Amino acid sequence: MLRRVDPVDVLAALGLEGSGWAAPVHGGAGVGFAEHAPVAPASVMKVQVALAVERLIATGRLNGCERRVMKASGRTPGPTGISLMRDEVTMSVRDLVVGMLTISDNAATDELIALAGLEQINQILSELGMKQTVIRSDLRQMLEDIAHDTGFCSYAELVAHDPAVEGPPSAGEIRQRIAHAPALDPAHGTRTTAAEMVALLQAIWNDRAAPAEACRRVRDHMSRQLVMNRIAPAFDSTVKVAAKSGALLGVVRNEVAVLTLSDDAAYAVAVFTRKDPANTASPAAIDAAIGQIARCLVDDLRR
C-alpha cells in the first residue's frame, strides 16, 4: 500500500502556509487542515460575486440583459479580458459574469460589484451562513490600497517602478511591503476560509445558494475556466473539474473546485496558499502542490 501523503507536509516542503478542506458535494464529513483559518482569497472571491449577481438576476432585482458601457479610462487593471482593451466596451451583465469566471476578468468583476453593491453582496453571503467571508472592496481599490501601503502614489506607479533605474525601494523591499499590506491581511482585507468555500460550493451544486437557474449558470461558467493547471492535473482525464483559481502579487495562490469522478461521486475542494516574500518557490511548483493537496484530500474521503 502506498504511504499516505500528508497535505501539511506538501506545504511545508515548499515553505508555504495554507489551508485545505474537502467534502462530498451532496453531504458527509469533510477532511483537511486549518479549514477555519481566515485567508486572502484573491480571485476566488469572484465565485461569491458571480453567485450574488446571478441570484439578483434570477429574482428579478437585476436585468441580466442590461448593457453596461465601460470606458477605457479608469478601468481596473488585470492580465486578461477587458482590462487589456484600449477602447470603450459594451457588454451585458450576464456576459460580464462569463468573463469574470472563465478568464478571471478584473474589469468585469468591478463592474458587477458596482452594479450589485458591496453591501448587498455581503448580505447575501451572510444569509448563506458565510460568517467569516467578507468582500471589503472592489479589486481596483484593493490594488490602489496595496500600492499606497507599499509607498507608491498609485498601482500604476508600483507596477512601473524599476529599482535599477529609479533606485529604492528595491524589488525585495517591495515584495516585503506588499506581503504586509493590510489589504492582503485577512484580519483587515477581503477574506474567507476553506471550510466556508467548500460549504458554498456544496450549496451551489445542490441549488441551495440561489434559484436553480442561477446556481446552474455559476456551475457552467466554473466548468469553463480557461486556466486549469492547479487542481485538474492531479486527476486523470475522466474527472470533470469546475474551478475558480486566484493569485495575487506573488503572495497568495489558491483554487477551489468541484470534482466529479467517473463513478459520479462529487467532491468540493478548497486549497489556499501563502508565500513569504523571501521564498523562492515557483508558481508552477505551488500550482502542483495545490493539486497534490486536493488529490490527498479527495483520496482520504474515498478511503
pTM, 2 dp: 0.95
* Confidence category of residue 1, pLDDT binned at 50, 70, 90: very low
Q: Is the pLDDT of residue 2 over 80?
A: no
Angle formed by the axes of helices 118-127 and 46-58, nearest 10°: 90
Residue 177 has pLDDT above 50, yes or no: yes
Q: What local confidence, expressed as pLDDT, does residue 3 receive?
A: 64
For the stretch 262-274, pLDDT in tens is: 999 999 999 999 9
Per-residue pLDDT reduced to its tens digit, 57-70: 999 999 999 999 99
Say if residue 73 is exposed, middle or buried (CB neighbours under 10 Å; 0-12, 13-18, 19+).
exposed
Q: Grid cell 474521503 — which residue?
A: 301
Please compute, for residue 156, the number of CA atoms within 13 A of its CA located in the half-sphere on the CB side.
Answer: 5
The topology under which CATH files domain 7-135+190-302 is Beta-lactamase (3.40.710)
Share of the chain above pLDDT 70, in %: 99
| Residue 4 burial (C-beta neighbours within 10 Å; 0-12, 13-18, 19+) | exposed
